[in-house]
Amino acid sequence: MRTILHVDMNNFYASVECLYDPSLRGKPIAVAGDAEMRRGIVLAKSNEAKRCGVKTGDLQWEARRKCPQILFVPPHFERYEKYSKLSRAIYTDYTDQVEPFSLGECWLDVTGSDLLFGDGRSIADQIRARVRRELGLTVSVGVSFNKIFAKLGSDLKKPDATTVIPYEHFQEIVWPLPVGDLLFAGPSTVQALARCGVRTIGDLARQPREMLKGWLGSMGETLWRYANGLEDAPVARLDAVHTVKSIGNSTTTPRDLYKLEEVRVILYLLAESVAQRLRAKHFRCGTVQLSVRYADMTACSRQATLRRPANDSETLFAQAFSLFQALPSRGRPVNNLGIHTTKLIPDSQVQLSLLPEEQRDARRETLEKALDGIRDRFGRESVQRGILIGNDTLAQLRPRSRDQISK
């Protein structure tokens, strides 16, 4: 029987902010984006804010209505990345099977570590003590025989707690819990199951597997396996190489966009960001996808295949802009745009060509690689496009804050 841990840094972003500003301790705080740039969403909150009902994803005005004395602090992702790496360094003292789930969460397989460090509970307690002593943060740890129940265990008791869900007693611990506590059972899935009379994890586990598959498709069968303790996915090594399937970026604009020229500016910024990361990962894309969200919160997406794989911003922009111009809803105010690339292939698989248009593309890629070097050395703003002149508000956007790389 395996011994799996799920380690969750308590109120991670907010706790790190308190390390840098101890005056925030004991106060209701929330890490949130820039409200003036319409990114004022709560990313993390302290226990004091949580007790007032503040939730991750709340808008700043919603959080302030729930907790009038709340303090908002801007996010500092470089700090969170630093402490994420420091915590993982502690975990690797106990096992080389450490799989990140987010910056503040990791699974650990400590099955072979018991002779050195004790059983799962003992290892979890040691990790909690070391993180508290060495980093000044707290973690909650779930201990179980698979990843799903370990994750559930870390959520059951917070902060700074160890929760064990053993194989012999998982039904009496897990089955009475709401089905929404199960990993990947989102709000729409919970609502669909509730309409069928399934409200607890035990209700889910007792349903015929084929019936659940009929209700929810393949996800129904997956959740049935989770509920019955049949999940057996391995914990990956921290240095495991994952296949990148897509690279993309999206941004919420600081104001609604009515003019085509304003959309053009944002798409150029996004295309530059995505192209730069494609080149950094040594990939080219075969497909470009455009996502658009309008001011009334409706959304749509379109995609197109490129004539040849590319990783330069001009090609990505031209395709995304063409997709936008072809939308039947063009002219409606826009408040979110995204560019995503798929069908990625390594640079090494692209054949050289003597066709004039492809040689032109190659020269453009060489130029953009040179710009990458300048920006890496002197900063992203050292070289900018002329279209940003006169668009001061839009030029302040930094699309890299919402980069998305899926594996």
The catalytic position among 17, 48, 99, 105 is 105
Separation of alpha carbons 120 and 129, rounded Å:
14
Separation of alpha carbons 229 and 266, rounded Å:
47
Active site residue 357: no
Separation of alpha carbons 117 and 124, rounded Å:
10
Separation of alpha carbons 200 and 130, rounded Å:
36
* Residue with the two structure tokens 């700090």: 79
Specify the length of the chain in residues. 407
- List the beta bridge partners of residue 211: none
Separation of alpha carbons 328 and 278, rounded Å:
30
* Residue with the two structure tokens 């109120």: 11
Rounded (10°) CA dihedral 239, 241, 246, 250: 10
Beta strands of 61-119 (E only): which ranges?
71-73, 98-102, 105-109
Burial class (CB in 10 A: 0-12, 13-18, 19+), 168: exposed
Among 328, 299, 3, smallest CA distance to 162 is for 3
User: Would you tell me how many other CB atoms lie within 10 Å of the CB of residue 57?
Assistant: 9
* Residue with the two structure tokens 């069968």: 221
Active site residues: 105
